């Protein structure tokens, strides 16, 4: 992991230096007093000439590199911020991620990022916040899952050990970054969980990873097969019954208000998050095609996001009461696996005809959602799940599918998604879709056919929600990415951690 630190703005004596620049601020702006201007003077105008030759204008995401420029520096890298007046927190973090990617590509053990707030930036962004967001983006992009690379050559490993963010008020910038660093910790926990191979991360092993949150003050309760059977988690256990790795349900509680739900305006129980944790999904008897089945190690990404979110909230000592529940199972075919045509009775008492054993995540969530609302009486519930391939057909890999029974909660999630770059698109719910779940022999069936597959899956979940404000995030298309993005390297994204932390911070924390 690359260390992020803060320092006063001074021209480094060696290593690589990144200069984030707003559109239109260069090359003419290099005559000013900022660090970029200092660099240009130290290089006798070569920076200005190089940027002009590269046609660098500061457009968002644009980069230009000057190699071995002199003055002791190995590289000077310009990164475009876009128009100063249109800067957003997400855009600043993207610039920080682009800066980190450029630094990691070199042979330097140390680098620096200048954090000169561009003139004309929106009023809501100050110098300390600008530096902190650059640092967050850099930290997020630095993630690397390499614990199983035992023969990697030294020249193929990142050389970068530390990055200094050069800020006018380094102390304020460091203070602004402190809670963001805890969010990044939560993101990294989720990325680690989602990246682990399924022979390492089975339900019991993931439950033990959850126990580690107790070090942050999270109360962790792990329920095994015997207790789950006694309580009535029948549909969840039915998914797990074909595997030698037995199911677990983990309940995590962060009591940030020092005494439970607040009274008065906005009173209620905790906020609640529920995650689907299928640590490997073969499809069961309704087995998936072999091609691409290895991707099903991350069918627990919803649960992984809940674990990372709980770590982020506890890490930054959020003033809110939160419950996180994850249902952990492995879906395998065997002589004991559930069959298409089975009827199971859920924790709620409703019966389900299982027509497709690959539509298993909704069975796991059904029991967890009902248990959550019955035991904790939450103010709202949000579930996260890599639930359907159909959502990828609908929305590709750019947005999560959002389904909700509450317009206010839906609007809050959409806004938080835009602010963090974890965007959601609201999908419909309705009686016509719900009728597709009608069974001839049970209260419902677990699939509604190919038309509107993501919607009927959400309709199924809604049957286990009652009147609690609820939202369902189908993250099948956004939990893993096949290419690098500015602040998210290829692989596990930890989608949902930053989004839901923002939701809590803006609308529920301290209320």
Provide the annotated active-site residues. 288, 362
Quote the distance between the C-alpha of residue 487 and its chain's center. Answer: 11
413 near 508, Cβ under 8 Å?
no
- Which residues partner with 155 through β-bridges? none
DSSP track, 201-232: --HHHHHHHHHGGGGGT-EEEEE-HHHHHHHT
21 near 47, Cβ under 8 Å?
no
Would you state the torsion angle of the CA atoms of residues 10, 13, 19, 24, taken in this order, to the nearest 10 degrees?
Answer: 80
CA 380/CA 272 separation, integer angstroms: 6
End-to-end, the C-alpha distance of the chain in Å comes to: 36
257 near 319, Cβ under 8 Å?
yes
Cis previous bond, 301, omega within 30: no
413 near 499, Cβ under 8 Å?
yes
Q: Could you count the other beta carbons within 10 Å of the beta carbon of residue 506?
A: 12
Q: Find, among 464, 447, 440, the residue nearest to 367 by Cα.
A: 464
The two structure tokens encoding residue 90 = 């997400």
Tell me how far CA of residue 357 lies from CA of 75, 242, 347, 361, in angstroms.
55, 11, 18, 9
274 near 369, Cβ under 8 Å?
yes
Non-local (6+) Cβ contacts of 453 within 8 A are 388, 389, 390, 447
DSSP track, 452-505: THHHHHHHHHHTTTTTS-EEEEE-TTTSEESS-BTTB-SEE--TTHHHHHHHHH
CA 28/CA 51 separation, integer angstroms: 10
Beta strand 271-281 with 321-331 is parallel
- Which residues partner with 367 through β-bridges? none
Q: Where are the beta strands (DSSP E) in 349-466?
A: 351-354, 380-385, 400-404, 424-426, 444-445
Non-local (6+) Cβ contacts of 199 within 8 A are none
Q: Find, among 457, 429, 432, the residue nearest to 445 by Cα.
A: 457
The two structure tokens encoding residue 454 = 């993501």
């Amino acid at each position: 992991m690359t260390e992020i630190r803060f320092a006063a703005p001074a021209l480094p004596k060696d290593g690589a230096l990144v200069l984030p620049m707003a559109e239109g601020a260069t090359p003419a702006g290099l005559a000013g007093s900022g660090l970029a201007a200092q660099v240009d003077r130290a290089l006798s105008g070569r920076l200005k000439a190089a940027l002009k030759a590269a046609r660098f204008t500061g457009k968002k995401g644009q980069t230009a590199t000057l190699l071995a420029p002199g003055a002791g520096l190995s590289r000077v890298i310009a990164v475009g911020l876009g128009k100063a007046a249109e800067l957003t927190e997400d855009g600043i973090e993207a610039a920080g991620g682009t800066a980190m990617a450029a630094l990691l590509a070199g042979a330097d053990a140390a680098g620096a990022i200048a954090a000169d707030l561009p003139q004309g930036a929106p009023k809501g962004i100050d110098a300390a916040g600008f530096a902190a967001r650059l640092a967050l983006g850099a930290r997020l992009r630095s993630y690397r899952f390499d614990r199983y690379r035992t023969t990697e050559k030294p020249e193929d490993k990142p050389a970068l050990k530390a990055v200094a963010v050069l800020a006018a008020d380094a102390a304020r910038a460091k203070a602004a970054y402190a809670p963001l660093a805890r969010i990044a910790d939560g993101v990294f926990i989720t990325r680690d969980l989602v990246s682990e191979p399924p022979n390492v991360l089975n339900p019991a092993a993931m439950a033990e990873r959850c126990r580690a949150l107790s070090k942050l003050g999270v109360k962790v309760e792990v329920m095994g097969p015997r207790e789950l059977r006694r309580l009535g988690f029948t549909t969840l256990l039915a998914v797990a019954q074909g595997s030698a790795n037995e199911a677990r349900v983990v309940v995590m509680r962060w009591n940030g208000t020092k005494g439970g739900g607040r009274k008065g305006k906005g009173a209620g129980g905790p906020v609640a998050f529920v995650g689907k944790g299928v640590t490997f999904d073969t499809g069961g008897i309704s087995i998936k095609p072999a091609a691409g089945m290895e991707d099903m190690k991350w069918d627990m990404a919803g649960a992984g996001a809940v674990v990372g979110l709980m770590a982020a909230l506890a890490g930054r000592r959020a003033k809110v009461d939160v419950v996180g529940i994850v249902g952990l199972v492995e879906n395998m075919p065997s002589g004991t696996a559930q069959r298409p045509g089975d009827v199971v009775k859920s924790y709620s008492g409703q019966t389900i005809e299982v027509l497709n054993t690959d539509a298993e995540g909704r069975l796991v969530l059904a029991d967890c959602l009902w248990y959550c609302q019955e035991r904790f009486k939450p103010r709202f519930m949000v579930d996260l799940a890599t639930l359907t391939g159909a959502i990828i057909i609908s929305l590709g890999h750019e947005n999560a599918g959002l389904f909700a029974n509450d317009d206010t909660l839906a609007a809050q999630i959409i806004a938080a998604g835009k602010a963090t770059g974890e965007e959601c698109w609201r999908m419909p719910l309705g009686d016509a879709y719900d009728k597709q779940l009608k069974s001839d022999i049970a209260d419902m069936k677990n699939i509604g056919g190919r038309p509107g597959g993501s919607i009927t899956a959400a309709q199924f979940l809604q049957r286990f929600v009652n009147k609690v404000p609820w939202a369902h995030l189908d993250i099948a298309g956004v939990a893993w990415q096949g290419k690098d993005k500015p602040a998210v390297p290829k692989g596990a994204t930890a989608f949902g951690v930053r989004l839901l932390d923002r939701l809590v911070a803006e609308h529920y924390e301290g209320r």
